[in-house]
Structure 1
């Protein structure tokens, strides 16, 4: 059996991953430090700045209060918030979010751009990288604004807001996956896989797997990255099989089928236990947030004057960080087991262990996968299982 990597390739992969492992170890501490700085020194100045900016914008844009369409929108926002002040709340949240983003910008540029280019993994131009970062900032700003208006606005007006918000939000989690095919196209252009033998073989494979799908599309990620990628997006009538243009170029049809078969294995995973657990966890998190908001109001933290004061937002981010940081090792362990099961499913579906092995080996070489990551990195949240483990589980070709 041919070796997975030459000594030179393995040395390069270890050198590539070393700063990634260091960043993974340090980043939680950095994030906690940033939140501590905000909570300890910046809540009040950020809030005063938000009040001043909101008052200035209210004076400068007063005509929107009387314009036909904008008047209705602003009145709706007033009702959602329950009283004046939603502008200050949104601006405060955006100031905090922007500060966190700016602190992390140097490390993001290093890990996402400099390091990737140094080891030949990225094809980003500076302009495209900057544009994609701006898209991310815009989406983050929209999500933050919706969080402020939805969570804080409802909490200020409804006693059991966490239950009123939690139940529909849990239901929306089930629907949100149907929008995946459309979210992916915000960053990369997609086109249908051209008719031909590969499309026909994928269609036949999915028929044997009993996996309905809408289309097979090619995502043009080579403008940013040299990595191989295949995934399923959406659910039911919106399910789309997405192959990036790199995998179409680098892998043989049999190897592509092995990758698609692995993704099909995830479709057959039992979904409801995880979905129910996620819904219960979401409602429990919202209840914990309610308790935290009440405690902050009672103690008057950060100058809060009432329940659901926007100045408590960094506390909510701290709580969320701790919950996700502590739960990630557990969820990653379940994820690794799902990946193992998807591998077994793909091998059974294709009956071609040689192609599956070649697919893993080529993906490892192109994507510069570390075959044996440190144990602490695996336990911290690494998924899928280490490559050496996945290869060892592939039976020898007959």
Structure 2
């Protein structure tokens, strides 16, 4: 059997992945250090800056509170927050987030732009990369504002806020995946997969698998990346098969079918247990935040003068970071097992071991996958088994 990579290709792949492995080892300690710096030194200065900035904006733009249209917004925000002062809270949250982002901007730019270009994995132009970073920041700003107003505002007004907030959000999590087909439209154009042999064969394959779908789309990711990709997005009436334009260029029809057959295996996974567990974990996490906010208020941590003081937000980030740090290896282990089962399902569905093997080999070569990453990297939370392991698990050729 032809080797997966030549020695030259393997040397380049190791050179490509080594910085990522170094970052994976260093990053948890760096983030903990930045969070400690925020909690130990920067909370009070940031809070004073946010309060002063909010007061300045109120002085200059106070007329908006009485303007016919904008006053409705301000009245709604005051009710959600429970009192005035929500502007300073939002600015404080944005300052704490901006501090981390500014520290990481050189690192993120080197990894996401420079390193990817150096190894031929990116098609980003500087302008397109900057535009996507700005869009991501805008989405983060909106999400962070909603989080501050929703969580802290509700906590100030309702004693069992964690239950009032946790139950509807948990229910929303159960159906949020229905919106998946529309999220990537913020970054990439999509168009229907043209009528033809491939679409006909994919339709037949999914009929055989018993997987209903609303559409087949081609996502134009080649504007930024040279990686192949195929996935299912949405649930029920919104379920969509998404193939990126790179996979259509690099793979034969049989190989595309093999990739989609693997994704069809994920559709048949039993997801309710995981969703219910995630929902319960969310409620438990919000309850832990409630306890943390009460202890912070009673002991005056970080200058907190009342329950749900916005100055406790970096402490919540620290708690969330610790939860992810502990939970990611566990989630990764379950994810890798689901990927193995999806491989087995695809082989049962198509019966075409050779096309599946070629699909994995091409994906590994185009995406420059490390066939044998360090074991600690896998255990730290890799979502897929190493490509070498997946190939070794395939039945031998006849």
TM-score (norm 1): 0.99
Match of 1:200 in 2: 200
Distance 1:162 1:382 in 2: 31
Deviation at 1:397, TM superposition (A): 3.5
Distance 1:358 1:388 in 2: 13
Match of 2:361 in 1: 361
Distance 2:263 2:48 in 1: 50
Q: Map of 1:1-398 to 2, 5 A cutoff?
A: 1-398=1-398
Distance 2:55 2:61 in 1: 10
Distance 1:34 1:130 in 2: 24
Distance 1:266 1:59 in 2: 55
Distance 2:54 2:182 in 1: 34
Instruction: Report Cα offsets for 1:118-169 as digits up to 9, x if no partner.
Output: 1000010000000000011111111110100000000001001001110001
What secondary structure, in the 3-state scheme, does the structure 1 residue paired with 2:121 have? coil
Deviation at 1:68, TM superposition (A): 2.0
Distance 2:45 2:207 in 1: 60
Distance 1:288 1:140 in 2: 24
What secondary structure, in the 3-state scheme, does the structure 2 residue paired with 1:61 have? helix
Give every structure 1 segment of 4 or more consecutive aligned residues whose post-TM-superposition deviation is greater than 4 Å.
none
What secondary structure, in the 3-state scheme, does the structure 2 residue paired with 1:37 have? helix
Deviation at 1:205, TM superposition (A): 0.7
What secondary structure, in the 3-state scheme, does the structure 2 residue paired with 1:22 have? helix
Instruction: Report Cα offsets for 1:265-296 as digits up to 9, x if no partner.
Output: 00100011101110110011001000000010
Distance 2:196 2:70 in 1: 51
* Partners of 1:354 and 1:396 within 8 A in 2: no
Aligned residues: 398
Distance 1:154 1:267 in 2: 36
Deviation at 1:223, TM superposition (A): 0.6
* Partners of 1:46 and 1:92 within 8 A in 2: yes
Distance 1:25 1:230 in 2: 29
Distance 1:93 1:291 in 2: 20
TM-score (norm 2): 0.99
Deviation at 1:310, TM superposition (A): 0.2
Deviation at 1:395, TM superposition (A): 1.0
Deviation at 1:64, TM superposition (A): 1.3
Instruction: Report Cα offsets for 1:104-131 as digits up to 9, x if no partner.
Output: 1011011101110010000100000000
Distance 1:175 1:213 in 2: 16
What secondary structure, in the 3-state scheme, does the structure 2 residue paired with 1:270 have? coil
Instruction: Report Cα offsets for 1:42-82 as digits up to 9, x if no partner.
Output: 10111011111111111211221122221111101100100
Instruction: Report Cα offsets for 1:205-262 as digits up to 9, x if no partner.
Output: 1111111111111110111010000111111111110000000000000000000011
